[in-house]
Amino acid sequence: MKPLKLPCYCGSIRQASRVVTQMYDKALKPSGVKITQFGILRLLKYFPGLTTGEMAEALVMDSTTLTRTLKIIQDSKWIESTPGEDRRERHWSLTDEGRARLQEAEPLWKNAQKEFTAMMNDVDLDGLTRTVFQLVQKSTEAAVP
């Protein structure tokens, strides 16, 4: 069966997200890193020491989902945590293995970016990115009390 054009904004965006996720996961497979993990590793590369809550906010991700993903990455020894002032708070950073794994994954990610750009050659990707980010901003602004 071919994909269906859904009459639902959410369903359509989720379909597109799954297609893009599958494409990036396939490209990253030789590194052993999934695109969800790659995003977290990259975030910690540029912002070491973030708490789980800060990462969840930056990635606009449910903290329960993020915690599950962090555990997988931590079990792989790619990240480590140190306690914060509050003993429940954890600050996350890359390990040497995590930096090496990210360095291995980055060229694969760049190739996926090029593949996506080629596949979407008739789409204004800068405009698409701006539109998607506007959606994220509006939804997070609406959530603020």
Domain count across the chain: 1
* Cβ pair 101, 31 in contact under 8 A: yes
75-87 residue pLDDT tens: 999 999 999 888 7
Q: Is there a domain that residue 129 lies in?
A: yes
Which residues make beta-bridge pairs with 51? Answer: 91
Q: Is there a domain that residue 75 lies in?
A: yes
Cα-flanking dihedrals φ and ψ of residue 50, to 5°? Answer: -65, 150
Which residues make beta-bridge pairs with 91? Answer: 51, 82
* Cβ pair 34, 28 in contact under 8 A: yes
Q: Is there a domain that residue 13 lies in?
A: no
82-102 residue pLDDT tens: 998 887 889 999 999 999 999
2-47 residue pLDDT tens: 888 888 999 999 999 999 999 999 999 999 999 999 999 999 999 9
User: Which CATH number goes with the domain that contains 115?
Assistant: 1.10.10.10
